[in-house]
Amino acid sequence: MCRVLKTIVLVIGLTAFFYATGANAGVPTDQVRTTVDQVIAILQDPSLKTESKQKDRREQLRRVIFARFDFAEMARRSLGAEWRRRTPAEQQEFVVVFTDLLQDTYIGTIESYNGDKVGYNRELQENDNAEVQTTLTTRGDAVYSINYRLRLVDKDWKVYDVIIENISVVNNYRSQFARVITKSSYQELVRSMKEKTLSGRNTSQTCVEKC
């Protein structure tokens, strides 16, 4: 499971860079493209490329990514049934820890982008939900299917899950979290997540279980 998650995180980071390929682009696609343009601008800014500017660069990336991803919804779905057993204070804490963990990993992977190509296949939209279906082709000609699931929140389309080769990021986290809670406790899960966040800010490590 850890190996699968590492692969998923790598692909998520690389697929942050979209380009249009003739698909019917609606509002969800347009809003994602706006975010991507902002991310690329930050990564290409010469004044932010030096090691001494890493903190500033990552803070800017974090703000842009936070605006497009619905980390609170991802956290709730990832915790599954355990979410309803937690107090409002615990839920709020979990969202913060989950967001830090995912953002740190996502940003670290984005910074290692090396020109892999992404193309749109189609966009599906039904009421306040949408899915943007894409493919990623690596430099080694490996092809992955990546589907972004979004929901409409105050006129903005927010990503709440990513499906890679039919594997859901949210479902994978939910399975991991459930195992940790079953084997030990919810408190141990949060402790482990905090530890991974603090010790792995410059890595692509996202496994909460021992990898």
How much is the pLDDT for 26?
Answer: 79
**46 belongs to a structural domain:** yes
**Enclosing domain of residue 46:** 2-114+169-199
User: Is 58 a member of any domain?
Assistant: yes
Asked if residue 134 belongs to a domain, the reply is no
- The whole-number pLDDT of residue 25 equals 61
pTM passes above 0.85: no
What are 144-199's pLDDT values in tens digits?
888 889 999 988 999 999 898 999 999 999 999 999 999 999 999 999 999 888 65
What is the C-alpha to C-alpha distance for residues 7 and 204, in angstroms, rounded to an integer?
10
Q: Does 125 reside within a domain?
A: no
Helix or strand run (H / E) with residue 124: strand 117-126
Residue 52 located in a structural domain: yes
Query: Could you read off the pLDDT of 75-129 as tens digits, one per residue?
Result: 999 999 999 999 999 999 999 999 998 887 778 777 765 556 767 788 999 999 9
pLDDT band at residue 10, thresholds of 50, 70 and 90? very low
Provide the domain count of the chain: 1
Average pLDDT taken over every residue of the chain = 81
Alpha helix positions (H), the chain: 2-14, 27-44, 54-68, 71-79, 82-85, 88-110, 169-183, 186-199
Q: Examine residue 162 and state whether it is found in any structural domain, yes or no.
A: no
* Domain membership flag for residue 10: yes
Instruction: List the one residue out of 19, 15, 23 whose CA is nearest residue 146.
Output: 15
Is residue 161 one of the residues assigned to a domain? no
